[in-house]
Amino acid sequence: MREPQSLFLTEDSLGIVTDLYQLTMAAGYFEHGVHDITTFELFVRQLPENRSYLITAGIEQAVHYLTHIKFSEDNIQFLRRLPAFKHVSYEFFKYLQNFTFSGTVYAMPEGTIAFSDEPLIRVTAPIIEAQLVETYLLSIINFQTLIATKSSRIVYAAKGREVIDFGTRRAHGPQAGILAARSSFIGGCSSTSNVFAAYTLGIPAVGTIAHSWVMAFENELDSFHKFYETFPDYTVLLIDTYDTLTGAQHAAMISNKIKGVRIDSGDVLKLSKEVRKILDAKGLQHVKIIASGDLHENRIDDLLKNNAPIDSFGVGTEMVTSKDAPALGGVYKLVEQGHKGKIIPKMKLSKGKVTYPGKKQVYRITDTVGNFIKDVIGLEGENIEGIPLLIPVIKDGKPCYNLPTIHDIQRTASENLIHLPNPFKYLTDAETYPVYKSHGLEVKKQEAERIVRDMNM
Amino acid sequence: MREPQSLFLTEDSLGIVTDLYQLTMAAGYFEHGVHDITTFELFVRQLPENRSYLITAGIEQAVHYLTHIKFSEDNIQFLRRLPAFKHVSYEFFKYLQNFTFSGTVYAMPEGTIAFSDEPLIRVTAPIIEAQLVETYLLSIINFQTLIATKSSRIVYAAKGREVIDFGTRRAHGPQAGILAARSSFIGGCSSTSNVFAAYTLGIPAVGTIAHSWVMAFENELDSFHKFYETFPDYTVLLIDTYDTLTGAQHAAMISNKIKGVRIDSGDVLKLSKEVRKILDAKGLQHVKIIASGDLHENRIDDLLKNNAPIDSFGVGTEMVTSKDAPALGGVYKLVEQGHKGKIIPKMKLSKGKVTYPGKKQVYRITDTVGNFIKDVIGLEGENIEGIPLLIPVIKDGKPCYNLPTIHDIQRTASENLIHLPNPFKYLTDAETYPVYKSHGLEVKKQEAERIVRDMNM
């Protein structure tokens, strides 16, 4: 009888957490002696529907990956046995045995606001290394950026009320639940229900009871009393298991020390108002109302516009899957290649997927109080006013910056959002933030296009 | 300078990969001496839009979890320090030190076709154990079932042509990419680009080159030659980096041994026909055309209805995020509780979220050749014709079935899909498969409803 597989990632197998074509290309470059220093950039061509900005996230896990990637002996034996690698020399597998990432990486710090076409991370390394890491970088940055962005929209809609991540059970696996807890905290959530995320990241964990608790005792009132006995300072009671208004009356009978009640079903707008009245009539003005159940930014906006007396929102599925736009289409493209002492700008001309060549930097122009006016995507080193957003995070394979805490990152995101004018933050029909390409970049593009056409057409 | 965090799951921390409320409830039950044997069932109330069936997946990882869950000493210290647990006794944390899952679990084997309201997995255990595992079970089964279902739709649309998983870069993190490779293979994909998935699961890995390979050489033709030199038996050339038709002509110049060409952009219908002509004119009828780029079941259906001469489809984002329906709303509900020698059926009455009580079994009624006619959800042990779909997978904490290989599971799914009549498989406007509740179950529900109302209203 074989053992069930966990499929967990482990540090010693990070080299093969990639697409096979990265490894066939690696072998091909190796066999042809191509070890040119190249630069790749990760960017998003088009923001998802209804998104007017991105909150960057996932850089820390990207740095972990780049500074730990290697191939285990078993991984290498596996690759050697693949029929496709039949003609590949022993030296290539020897090379994989000693593989580490030796390149230099620039990235926007996590919590930065970014827009389409702006490089979020820029990798300069020997071509095999820079290429191999594409799949993992895309996967970890696409997802965390997607969720940090979504959570910032939900937090914006909540107008200062707490938003709590309740999403692990509907995330794309338990690991995605942890990454979602991290990135939704970056986007502005106050806490998470995920204990592992709280443990590893140091963010607040919250949670009290499910319907099953209420059902496990003889009746609701008894179940409420029992919970209060064990958690007298942290009692939030779920009141909709049988009948929400009766549940509110039961909650009011427990103690004036209870902290809150939660409503998870039904007409939350109407129920929250009636529950508020029941609690207030018993002198429980300080007891909070928490709402949960298929909430998202538009629903929350709607509830608050109708004066729902809700103090906190528990948000799950819609946030951790970014349900209305569940993928971020980040791409990772070769933009420059050193070859025989020359630096050659690179671009592709595929229909609808043309890329800009050259090693780029993003310059943010703000007014005197720091409010964002516009961005310019230019060349690294080009003389452009504004704050350069890409900073060095890895130099020659070693981390070269002080990793911010998750609280620092949340603060960065929050301050950036304050400086992004409101019309760019509207939940629907937000304005498009002005992002320009520099003169230097346009000239570089024409130059590269000429080279490519001369060589290929 | 602190170390960057991977946030990888590890076996010794599985106990805390859960929602905090599972642990507050656990402490509450413990403090009140509640150790009743309970049964919880995981089911989906409503299938996502355009889904008419589910392909179950994720049971193997659920079994891994249930047979490995424990709390590390560090995890326990972390919980003890949480302010909420201030009044919880030392004995509870002592209990967590020795925590293992000792229950009995029934599940539909992976690759089973399931419908709404049918339990996919049923857990019977002391209440603390049965409750604690909810979050992880939902997360792993919801996601893999979601993707196996989506991939089966895409494979159906491809009408016998190969569908290849290309999705890791857009999955919800690298771990989700691996789970998606597994579950999309269960749903009928032929292979994956994900090397780690291929390595751990023994499924075929495929992939050759990206645009960057073509861009890294002086010109396209040279890049094609170079790849062929290293991989003469496995050459599939990506031909759309600069101009697809020129790319096809270049590919045709390499060797009649090349295996295929790939088109990743532009008007794939038109281009595939023109590329086919170019290849055929050079006697390359055996060279396959692979299409990729934002494909999904409806797009594939459309291409094939218009006679696109495409042999294989590389599918990414749309499949691994189940983009049109990116979450499966599985829930996990208390249905029965042993208390003082009696077995008490349990149900909730929350608006729109009423549950059926009692330990259930799903009975599938087929015709003489095995085609599915209808399902009946009844009570375990009820005398109902049909094949019971839930089988024991864990008994008293120990795995009690022979784990099928991934190829076995794929075959199970494929055979089940053959026996599901076509009208239930249409991509849009599929018919609703008939699922009935048994007389015994309806009687049990009335009984439970009476008990609940007497106790609570």
Amino acid at B422: N
* Distance from the B236 Cα atom to the nearest Cα atom in chain A, whole angstroms: 10
- A261 domain residue, yes or no: yes
Most A CBs within 10 A among B32, B149, B208, B230, hence the mutation to make, goes to B230
Query: Would you call B299 helix, strand, or coil by DSSP?
Result: helix
- Is B138's CB within 8 Å of A170's CB? yes
The DSSP letter of residue B114 is: E
- B3 domain residue, yes or no: no
In chain A, the residue whose alpha carbon lies closest to the alpha carbon of B234 is: A84
With contacts defined as CB-CB under 8 Å, which chain A residues touch B138?
Answer: 169-170
Show the DSSP H helices in A158-292 as ranges.
174-186, 195-201, 211-216, 220-230, 244-252, 268-281
Distance of alpha carbon B350 from alpha carbon B393, whole angstroms: 31
Distance of alpha carbon B174 from alpha carbon A50, whole angstroms: 26
CATH number at residue A345: 3.20.140.10
Q: Which member of A11, A65, A171 has the closest CB to residue B139?
A: A171
Distance of alpha carbon A203 from alpha carbon A106, whole angstroms: 27
Distance of alpha carbon A5 from alpha carbon B181, whole angstroms: 14
CB A431 within 8 A of CB A142: no
Q: Which residues contact B106 (CB under 8 A, 6 or more apart)?
A: B119, B121, B122, B390, B391, B392, B393
Six-digit token string for A87 = 């003609």
Q: Which of A19, A406, A115, A177 is nearest to B172 (CA)?
A: A177
Identify the band that residue A351 occupies on the pLDDT scale cut at 50, 70 and 90: confident
- A5 domain residue, yes or no: no
Compute and round to an integer the Cα radius of gyration of chain B.
Answer: 26
CA A197 to chain centre: 14
Cα end-to-end span (Å), chain A: 59
**Range A143-153 average pLDDT:** 98
- Is A210's CB within 8 Å of B25's CB? yes
Distance of alpha carbon A183 from alpha carbon A185, whole angstroms: 5
CB B301 within 8 A of CB B271: no
With contacts defined as CB-CB under 8 Å, which chain B residues touch A142?
Answer: 169-170
Six-digit token string for B182 = 């597994």
Six-digit token string for B146 = 């979601």
In chain A, the residue whose alpha carbon lies closest to the alpha carbon of B42 is: A169
Binding-face residues of A in 129-168 toward B, CB within 8 A: 131, 134-136, 138-140, 142-144, 166, 168
CA A25 to chain centre: 29
With contacts defined as CB-CB under 8 Å, which chain A residues touch B455?
Answer: 218-220
With contacts defined as CB-CB under 8 Å, which chain B residues touch A27?
Answer: 230-231
pLDDT in tens, chain B (457 residues): 789 999 999 999 999 999 999 999 999 999 999 999 999 999 999 999 999 999 999 999 999 999 999 999 999 999 999 999 999 999 999 999 999 999 999 999 999 999 999 999 999 999 999 999 999 999 999 999 999 999 999 999 999 999 999 999 999 999 999 999 999 999 999 999 999 999 999 999 999 999 999 999 999 999 999 999 999 999 999 999 999 999 999 999 999 999 999 999 999 999 999 999 999 999 999 999 999 999 999 999 999 999 999 999 999 999 999 999 999 999 999 999 999 999 999 988 877 778 899 999 999 999 999 999 999 999 999 999 999 999 999 999 999 999 999 999 999 999 999 999 999 999 999 999 999 999 999 999 999 999 888 887 6
> B307 with B333, same domain?
no
With contacts defined as CB-CB under 8 Å, which chain A residues touch B23?
Answer: 195, 207
* Distance from the A235 Cα atom to the nearest Cα atom in chain B, whole angstroms: 9
Binding-face residues of A in 76-135 toward B, CB within 8 A: 78-79, 82-84, 86-88, 127, 131, 134-135
Distance of alpha carbon B275 from alpha carbon A333, whole angstroms: 25
- The percent of chain B in helix, strand and coil, each rounded to the nearest 5, is 40, 20, 40
In chain A, the residue whose alpha carbon lies closest to the alpha carbon of B130 is: A212
CB B378 within 8 A of CB B384: yes
Number of domains in chain B: 2
- Angle formed by the axes of helices B73-81 and B90-97, nearest 10°: 160
> B342 with B281, same domain?
no
* Distance from the A189 Cα atom to the nearest Cα atom in chain B, whole angstroms: 16
> Could you report the predicted ipTM of this complex, rounded to two decimals?
0.97
CB B36 within 8 A of CB B338: yes
Residue A350 is predicted with a pLDDT of: 76
- A143 domain residue, yes or no: yes
With contacts defined as CB-CB under 8 Å, which chain A residues touch B12?
Answer: none
With contacts defined as CB-CB under 8 Å, which chain A residues touch B18?
Answer: 168, 194-196
CB A149 within 8 A of CB A55: yes
> B138 with B187, same domain?
no
Which residue segment(s) compose the domain that B295 sits in?
A: 157-320
CA-based torsion, B216, B217, B219, B222: positive or negative: negative
Q: Which of B235, B189, B240, B234 is nearest to B214 (CA)?
A: B240
Q: Does B376 contact chain A (CB < 8 Å)?
A: no
**Quick count: other Cβ atoms within 10 Å of Cβ B93?**
17
Burial of B283 (0-12, 13-18, 19+ CB in 10 A): exposed
- B49 domain residue, yes or no: yes
Query: Would you call A106 helix, strand, or coil by DSSP?
Result: strand
State which of B320, B337, B363 marks the end of a domain. Answer: B320
- Is B1's CB within 8 Å of A32's CB? no
> A313 with A366, same domain?
no
- A155 domain residue, yes or no: no
* Distance from the A370 Cα atom to the nearest Cα atom in chain B, whole angstroms: 29
Amino acid at A246: T
> A172 with A303, same domain?
yes
CB A100 within 8 A of CB A70: yes
State which of B302, B320, B338 marks the end of a domain. Answer: B320
> B82 with B177, same domain?
no
> A174 with A314, same domain?
yes
> A169 with A316, same domain?
yes
- Is B143's CB within 8 Å of A213's CB? no
In chain A, the residue whose alpha carbon lies closest to the alpha carbon of B170 is: A139
> A380 with A243, same domain?
no
- B4 domain residue, yes or no: no
- Is A31's CB within 8 Å of B230's CB? yes
Q: Which member of A36, A199, A207 has the closest CB to residue B19?
A: A207
> A217 with A242, same domain?
yes
With contacts defined as CB-CB under 8 Å, which chain A residues touch B67?
Answer: 4
Distance of alpha carbon B305 from alpha carbon B319, whole angstroms: 21
Share of chain A above pLDDT 90, in %: 96
> A140 with A167, same domain?
no
Residue A354 is predicted with a pLDDT of: 81
Q: Does A240 contact chain B (CB < 8 Å)?
A: yes
Q: Which residues contact A186 (CB under 8 A, 6 or more apart)?
A: A55, A57, A110, A111, A144, A148, A151, A406, A409, A410, A413
Q: Which residues contact A414 (CB under 8 A, 6 or more apart)?
A: A111, A188
Q: Kindly state the helix (H) or strand (E) to which residue A298 belongs, with its residue range.
A: helix A297-305
Query: Would you call A175 helix, strand, or coil by DSSP?
Result: helix
State which of A320, A345, A372 marks the end of a domain. Answer: A320
Show the DSSP H helices in B116-219 as ranges.
127-132, 134-157, 174-186, 195-201, 211-216
> A113 with A245, same domain?
no
Return the C-alpha torsion angle B110, B116, B117, B121, nearest 10.
10
C-alpha pair distances (Å), A258 with each of A206, A211, A232, A244: 15, 18, 7, 17
Least confident of A150-159, A342-351, B42-51: A342-351
Distance of alpha carbon B139 from alpha carbon B18, whole angstroms: 10
Q: Which member of B134, B218, B231 has the closest CB to residue A87?
A: B231
With contacts defined as CB-CB under 8 Å, which chain A residues touch B136?
Answer: 174
**Strands B288-292 and B260-263, sheet pairing:** parallel
- A424 domain residue, yes or no: yes
Q: Kindly state the helix (H) or strand (E) to which residue A113 belongs, with its residue range.
A: strand A113-114
The string over A234-248, giving b where at least 16 C-beta atoms fall within 10 Å of a residue's C-beta and e elsewhere, is bbbbbbbbbbbebbb
Distance of alpha carbon A13 from alpha carbon B377, whole angstroms: 44
Burial of B259 (0-12, 13-18, 19+ CB in 10 A): middle
Distance of alpha carbon B33 from alpha carbon B18, whole angstroms: 22
Distance of alpha carbon A152 from alpha carbon A187, whole angstroms: 4
Distance of alpha carbon B373 from alpha carbon A423, whole angstroms: 56
Binding-face residues of B in 4-43 toward A, CB within 8 A: 4-11, 13, 16-25, 27-29, 31-32, 34, 36, 38, 40
Q: Which of A181, A140, A170, A15 is nearest to B177 (CA)?
A: A140
CB A331 within 8 A of CB A438: no
CATH number at residue A277: 3.20.20.70
Six-digit token string for B15 = 């106990």
